[in-house]
């Protein structure tokens, strides 16, 4: 019985990512993860200077290699080792001539004018997201679109030197957008680091332990009563003068000034 299978169409995005990963230089971890490569820095205490800058491997032979050693041609430290010069780095292939951006099809336009700038930015975005622990926490302060916008704006090849020190809030179109669509401030739980949050939590817990003491509670209760009794002191003063001077409602200073004015007017007459 034959089975009809459906072969999915190739995804353009997956093909571009695969081609980009094959063209980019290997990361430093790639050599360390290889089982055939053993990296060891040159150490004068462990290696002879003849090993510097050379690729070497110890050879296992049946006979004693010292018997055929010629000191006029080599160093005694090289006995039993095979040496090879490090190969020069391969020259990258010359990039193809980009097509005309006005007449080329959409696929070629993406491959030559969009993805060479977008894919490195997305790679850095994923690395930054990992550093901000976005894959470990449910909420973080990291905004992938903000990071990608700032990266593409600062790394524009036409004006890269002019924008290297600018931030996201310095971008003109970002300023215009935020004027009409202001953002709410981020909560402190996203802005604080683990160490800063631990300091705040510990300070709050120590304050709670102090406030729960009976003597401290008694002092706080007395302070609360004292504040309640002295809160309306100004209104009490106004009520006192209102009862003492029901006709004018003036303060003693005001009444004295008024009496002096009356006396001066009488003297002039």
Together in a domain, 121 and 157: yes
| 81 lies in some domain | no
Task: Give the pLDDT confidence of 47-74 residue by residue, as tens digits.
Answer: 677 777 777 777 777 777 777 777 777 7
Residues in the chain: 269
Together in a domain, 132 and 177: yes
8 Å CB contact between 124 and 151: yes
In the block, residue with structure tokens 């459906």: 6
Domain, as residue range, for 254: 236-264
| 152 lies in some domain | yes
Together in a domain, 113 and 173: yes
Per-residue pLDDT of the chain (269 residues; tens, 9 = 90+): 444 555 566 666 677 677 777 766 555 444 444 445 555 556 666 667 777 777 777 777 777 777 777 777 777 777 777 777 777 777 888 877 888 888 999 998 998 888 988 999 999 999 999 898 888 888 889 999 999 999 999 988 888 778 888 888 888 999 999 999 998 888 888 888 889 999 999 999 999 999 999 999 999 999 998 888 777 777 778 888 888 877 654 544 444 444 455 455 555 55
- The token pair at 149 is 């916008």
Together in a domain, 119 and 174: yes
What DSSP character marks residue 44?
T
| 202 lies in some domain | yes
d(CA 155, CA 163): 8
In the chain, the number of structural domains is: 3
Say whether 56 sits in a helix, a strand or coil.
Answer: strand
| 11 lies in some domain | no
Together in a domain, 144 and 205: no
| 34 lies in some domain | no
- The token pair at 193 is 């680091």
Together in a domain, 124 and 167: yes
| 257 lies in some domain | yes
| 41 lies in some domain | no
8 Å CB contact between 117 and 148: no
Together in a domain, 163 and 129: yes
| 161 lies in some domain | yes
Is this structure's pTM higher than 0.85? no
Task: Give the pLDDT confidence of 200-248 residue by residue, as tens digits.
Answer: 999 999 999 999 999 999 999 999 988 887 777 777 788 888 888 776 5
Together in a domain, 158 and 213: no
Q: What is the pLDDT of residue 40?
A: 57
For 107, what's the count of Cα atoms within 13 Å in the CB-facing half-sphere? 5
Please name every residue paired with 57 in a beta bridge, in sequence order, or none if there are none.
Answer: 82
Together in a domain, 210 and 151: no
For 232, what's the count of Cα atoms within 13 Å in the CB-facing half-sphere? 7
């Amino acid at each position: 019985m034959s089975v009809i299978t459906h072969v999915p169409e190739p995804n353009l995005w997956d093909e571009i990512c695969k081609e980009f990963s094959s063209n980019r230089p290997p990361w430093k971890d790639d050599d360390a993860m290889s089982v055939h490569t053993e990296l060891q820095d040159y150490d004068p205490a462990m290696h002879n200077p003849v090993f510097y800058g050379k690729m070497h491997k110890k050879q296992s032979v049946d006979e004693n290699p010292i018997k055929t050693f010629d000191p006029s041609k080599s160093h005694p430290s090289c006995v039993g080792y095979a040496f090879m010069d490090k190969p020069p780095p391969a020259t990258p292939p010359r990039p193809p001539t980009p097509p005309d951006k006005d007449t080329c099809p959409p696929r070629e336009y993406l491959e030559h004018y969009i993805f060479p700038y977008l894919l490195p930015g997305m790679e850095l975005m994923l690395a930054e997201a990992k550093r901000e622990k976005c894959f470990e926490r449910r909420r973080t302060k990291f905004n992938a679109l903000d990071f990608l916008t700032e990266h593409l704006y600062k790394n524009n090849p036409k004006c890269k030197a002019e924008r290297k020190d600018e931030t996201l809030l310095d971008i003109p179109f970002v300023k215009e957008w935020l004027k009409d669509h202001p953002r709410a401030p981020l909560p402190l739980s996203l802005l604080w680091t683990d160490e800063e949050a631990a300091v705040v939590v510990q300070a709050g817990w120590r304050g709670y332990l102090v406030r729960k003491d009976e003597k401290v509670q008694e002092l706080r209760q007395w302070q609360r009563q004292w504040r309640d009794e002295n809160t309306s002191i100004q209104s009490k003063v106004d009520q006192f003068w209102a009862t003492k001077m029901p006709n004018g409602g003036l303060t003693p200073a005001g009444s004295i000034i008024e009496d002096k004015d009356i006396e001066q007017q009488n003297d002039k007459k």
